[in-house]
Amino acid sequence: MSVGELHHLDYLNENELMEMDTFIHRIDSTEVIYQPRRKRAKLIGKYLMGDLLGEGSYGKVKEMLDSETLCRRAVKILKKKKLRRIPNGEANVKKEIQLLRRLQHKNVIQLVDVLYNEEKQKIYPCSVN
């Protein structure tokens, strides 16, 4: 590329354009350091979403923080669309929620809350150990 082709850089004189060769240099892609974007805090009801704990055939399990009591909870995020693909998926989840509401044992998780998001078609059963 000649200096004549750089007419849109008319605010730089010819000497400055020649010095740009030393300013702009090629680097290997392994030398580039990428900084991941910070995620925005997601608040669902009174719960603040946290990190992913696990993933299964029915959905994802994430950590949540109860903003009122500051207790850590686990939430299973279930998508209705995904449940419909699994035979008896929706019925199994409804049965699991009913059972967990009635069960109270030290070795079984306790169901604290169930949230529905009709817009996103998601179910959020919140539990505590």
φ/ψ of residue 77, rounded to 5: -95, 115
Enumerate the H helices of the chain as residue ranges: 14-23, 80-85, 89-102
Give SS3 for 102: helix
* Whole-angstrom distance, CA of residue 122 vs CA of residue 4: 60
- Is residue 76 a known part of a binding site? yes
Binding-site residues from annotation for ATP: 76
Binding-site residues from annotation: 76
